[in-house]
Amino acid sequence: MIVATWNVNGVRARTDAVIAWFTERRPDIACLQEIKTQDEGFPREAFEALGYHVETHGQKGFNGVALLSKEKPEAVTRGLPGGEGDEQSRYIEGLWRINGKPLRVASIYLPNGNPVGTEKYPYKLDWMARLERHASDLLERYEALVLAGDYNVIPEPIDAKHPQAWVEDALFRPETRRAYRRLVNLGLTDALRATTDADGTYSFWDYQAGAWQKNNGIRIDHLLLSPEAASRLSGAGIDKHVRAWEKPSDHVPVLIDLTA
């Protein structure tokens, strides 16, 4: 089964492209980020017509995450635990039962954190600490778990065409990368890097300065797997060609294939 993540950068502005990719790829579960709409504004009818169940955690104008799946989840959790008073819609989690076994999948839109010298960077690091605590709790369930989304983290220099250009950026700061490593070191597997160590493997290209044409990209969209999910990993990939479509998102879908 295919589980995918994609920051669509506005689902209403890019409905045609997103529907085209769903029609082409037919993911079993898709995690969307930056839907940029309240729940009632999500174009659910277009996806329901393709046979998908839609769960959203939206927000007017920005942020917002969604889970789209061929099968209806047994349970859905909206919001990352531990953030009393945090009104930003950045986390939604669903539980499915596949062939009698639980599969838990989260769609994550981790804060960008820029500019570093503002309150946005401490908020990013605090959010990452909350995610680490929640992931630790989820791992104690010994379920197949997929934490998928736009992490706004460049894990290693190999994950950027020009890593030196990102040294002071919130996506590549040492504090950010340490927080990401702490998360992974709980026992999670970076699905894409478990299948390839190739450089030039990116999921985001800025709209500016011909970044796409020059392949000046970064890898910031990740699927992290619990041991139970990693044992079922049969492949991973990036649908890079979607970036060349009309009115593209600056991100492209990243996906994994899990055995049933």
d(CA 78, CA 256): 23
Active-site pick, 52, 91, 121, 150: 150
Structure tokens at 6: 């994609």
CA distances from 251 to 142, 204, 242, 243 (A): 31, 4, 9, 7
Distances (CA, A) of 75 to 6, 93, 102: 22, 8, 11
Helices (H), the chain: 15-25, 44-48, 120-139, 174-184, 191-195, 227-230
Q: Which of 235, 217, 216 is nearest to 225 (CA)?
A: 235
Are 143 and 232 a contacting pair, CB within 8 Å? Answer: no
Instruction: Clarify whether 150 is annotated catalytic.
Output: yes
Cβ neighbours of residue 250 closer than 8 Å, sequence gap 6 or more: 7, 9, 204, 205, 206, 207, 243
The SS3 assignment for 150 reads strand
- Exactly one of 109, 121, 151, 180 is catalytic; which is it? 109
DSSP letter, residue 55: E
Find out whether 57 and 92 touch, Cβ atoms under 8 Å: yes
Encoding tokens for residue 145? 């778990």
What is the spatial distance between Cα 71 and Cα 127, in angstroms, rounded to a whole number? 30
* Cβ atoms 19, 25 nearer than 8 A: no
109 noted as active-site residue:
yes
Residues that are catalytic: 109, 150
